[in-house]
Structure 1
Amino acid sequence: MSVWRRYLVKDVTGRLVDLPSSLLDRADDGTAPLPHFAGRCVEMVAAVIVGDRKTHARVTELAFTKLYFDKMGYVDAAKRERMIRLMLESCADRRCRPPRKDVDRDARQDDCAHLSRRAVAARDQLIREFGWEPKPAERDAALSRLDPARLRGTPSQPARTLH
């Protein structure tokens, strides 16, 4: 069984087109730019696919996001770092635990409330800057390119759309 990833990007006409992972990797690691994306924010579908490459491959994860490129056509490192920082901050409230008996309960609750406010603000900012809420037709178009069997549905399962 294999695991691989595929990327689709929205072109200037609004269609989803394949972006080979090798090209994206080179633009991300700074070895080869994608000049046609220079200075742009691109809406991208990132998929993780598991299975046999010829038969029974299934999309196991699907993300709709925005990817920023610098003026040369490389993935914008500062934006990437900001996204990672916001992702980490957005999880801060999940680290809060109920106060132990030997710890000042009020201080602990204040810390958790502060972390919760920061996490909510980070999630909101993450969605504003890096989130892409695709229309149902865009989700279906992505699925039809990446996993046609899932969109059609098989006899054992109904057709579905990922949300």
Structure 2
Amino acid sequence: MSVWRRYLVKDVTGRLVDLPSRLFDSADDGTAPLPHFAGRCVELVAAVIVGDRVSHGRVTELAFTKLYFDQLGYVDAAKRERMIRLMLESCADRRCGSHRQDSHRQGDCSRLAHRAGAARDQLSREFGWEPKPDERDAALSRLDPARLRAAHREPAQTLH
């Protein structure tokens, strides 16, 4: 059994097209740019697939996000760092727990909850992509046709 990644990007016509993982990795690690993405924000579908490559495997994780490229066509490192920082800040309120706390700690938790909520909102605005149902179906059709057929027969599963 193998685990691999596949990426799709929305092109200028709105179609989802493959972005080979080796090209994405090169743009992400700074070894080779993707000049046609230079200075752009693209909508990206990232999938983790598990299975036998011969039988095409199954999508186990599906994420829809916005990805920013710098002026040369590399993944924008500053935007990537901002996304990671916002992700960490968005989880800050989870440290408080639900057990009974003293009033000083409750104030800290209230501030953390406010800051985490603001980070989640900012993360969603800057990096979130809420695909339309037909975009989600198009991604599944390209990445895991069997899952798409099953999704139309069974209650919807949540993929993020």
Which TM-score applies when normalising by structure 1?
0.91
Q: Which of 136, 148, 152 in structure 2 is aligned with 1:151?
A: 148
Task: Indicate the structure with greater helix content.
Answer: 2
User: Could you say which residue in structure 2 is the equivalent of 1:63?
Assistant: 63
2:114 pairs with 1:120: no
> Contact 1:9–1:45 (CA<8 Å) still a contact in 2?
yes
> Contact 1:140–1:161 (CA<8 Å) still a contact in 2?
no
1:152 Cα offset (Å): 1.1
Q: Which moved further from structure 2: 56-65 or 71-80?
A: 56-65
1:162 Cα offset (Å): 4.5
**What does residue range 39-78 of structure 1 map to in structure 2 within 5 Å?**
39-55=39-55, 57-78=57-78
> Contact 1:151–1:159 (CA<8 Å) still a contact in 2?
no
Pick 1 or 2: higher relative contact order, CA cutoff 8 A, min separation 6. Answer: 2
SS of corresponding position for 1:54: helix
Deviation sequence 1:39-71 (CA, Å, 0-9, x none): 000000000001111126110100000000000
CA distance, structure 2, for counterparts of residue 16 and residue 59 of structure 1? 16
Unaligned regions of 5+ residues in structure 1, if any?
Answer: none
Deviation sequence 1:74-118 (CA, Å, 0-9, x none): 000000000000000000011113356xxxx11100010000000
Q: Which amino acid aligns with 2:39?
A: G
2:132 pairs with 1:135: yes
Unaligned regions of 5+ residues in structure 2, if any?
Answer: none
Greater C-alpha radius of gyration = 1
Q: Which amino acid aligns with 2:107?
A: D
Residue 159 and residue 106 in structure 1: after superposition, are their counterparts in 2 closer, same or farther (change >3 A)? closer
> Contact 1:28–1:74 (CA<8 Å) still a contact in 2?
yes
Root-mean-square deviation (Å): 1.6
> Contact 1:48–1:60 (CA<8 Å) still a contact in 2?
yes
1:158 Cα offset (Å): 2.9
CA distance, structure 1, for counterparts of residue 82 and residue 38 of structure 2? 19
CA distance, structure 1, for counterparts of residue 155 and residue 46 of structure 2? 21
